Amino acid sequence: MGSGSGVQGEKEIFNKFTVRFFSALPIREAYVRMMQIVNKYDEMIPEQRVEFDTRFKRALNLDVKDRVIVALEFASNDPEAIREMKHFLEISKAETLKQNVYLISQHLGRVELREYFPPSSDGTGAKFIFPRSVNGKELIEPGDKEVRFEFNVPLVDRRGGGSSQKVLIAFKVPQMSYKGELSF
């Protein structure tokens, strides 16, 4: 998060990036449960539940054996920053992002982006797709201490200049276990 001077009566501007491994089953399960709560799943009649389950089955059964999906969301109390980031994420392509977005593995170093999908109406944010293994080596191994997500975000200065902000998130690998297995 970054802070600065305020706009529209706010004391400070905040920019918040939320980054999660969407390829990890517990993240997808939490997303589906959140959608159940928002849509009052527990109050639905059986036919509505079947329809809901069918619609969200894909998220739970996503095939991630050869890819790692990192989802990114952006929030701010500055409407201009929201518009700029939304526009940036909507027009970006994998080829243009390859020099700005990486997963950093302890034993592989920087792992290049393979695919990119802009934010959609599903509320899960922009999706950055990385290979699960490189040259036969897994991106993350059980003995690793951490894996990092790096995103150099271009910023537009209100005076017309440009700069960038580095988003660097470290994930602790020992905390990425689910039901006794590494989940990412």
Task: Give me the domains of the chain, ranges plus CATH numbers.
Answer: 2-23+62-177 (2.60.40)
pTM: 0.85
> Given this model, what pLDDT does residue 160 score?
55
Assign 34 to helix, strand or coil. helix
> Given this model, what pLDDT does residue 157 score?
55
What averages of pLDDT result for each successive group of 10 residues across the chain (184 residues)? 50 88 94 94 95 91 94 93 92 93 94 95 91 94 92 68 81 91 90
Q: How many angstroms separate the CA atoms of 139 and 132, rounded?
A: 5
Q: How many angstroms separate the CA atoms of 24 and 156, rounded?
A: 33
